[in-house]
Amino acid sequence: AQSVTQLGSHVSVSEGALVLLRCNYSSSVPPYLFWYVQYPNQGLQLLLKYTTGATLVKGINGFEAEFKKSETSFHLTKPSAHMSDAAEYFCAVISTSGTYKYIFGTGTRLKVLA
């Protein structure tokens, strides 16, 4: 069965520093992978997705992620953090074992320090 692991439930970075949020997945078949962001008191918003093709995926707000099959990883990065990036980030995969449903990681709360 597919699963998603997000390393680090809380990450703090200084404004202007690199943001790196880690996501590892397990899947026996090429996965569909997603990163979502959740701001306080809001639902989830899609940042970017990997379906097929180019392994480096660019999303909104300057975020990007690279699909690395050999490492079963899909880490999210942003070169320079902004205060407005403070939010909770979720990595997700679509399960292909029997039923096709989203499986979410437990989330990483990003704090940006001034």
Partner 1 sequence: KAGVTQTPRYLIKTRGQQVTLSCSPISGHRSVSWYQQTPGQGLQFLFEYFSETQRNKGNFPGRFSGRQFSNSRSEMNVSTLELGDSALYLCASSLKLAGPFSYNEQFFGPGTRLTVL
Binding residues for partner 1 (CB under 8 A): 32, 36, 41-46, 49, 51, 90, 94, 96, 99-107
Rounded least distance, CB 114 to partner 1, Å: 26
Tokens 């939010």 — which residue? 87
State residue 85 phi and psi, 5-degree precision.
Answer: -80, -10
For partner 1, the closer of residues 63 and 90 by Cβ is 90
Neighbouring C-beta atoms of residue 97, cutoff 10 Å: 12
Of 50, 70, 63, 71, the closest CA to residue 21 belongs to 63
Whole-number Å distance between alpha carbons of 104 and 114: 30
Minimum Å gap between C-beta 41 and partner 1 is 7
Closest contact distance (angstroms) between CB of 73 and partner 1 is: 19
Specify the residue, 103 or 110, whose C-beta has the smaller distance to partner 1. Answer: 103
Looking at the Cβ atoms of 29 and 114, the one nearer to partner 1 is 29
Q: Which is nearer to partner 1, 18 or 60 (CB)?
A: 60
Coil, helix or strand for 60?
Answer: helix
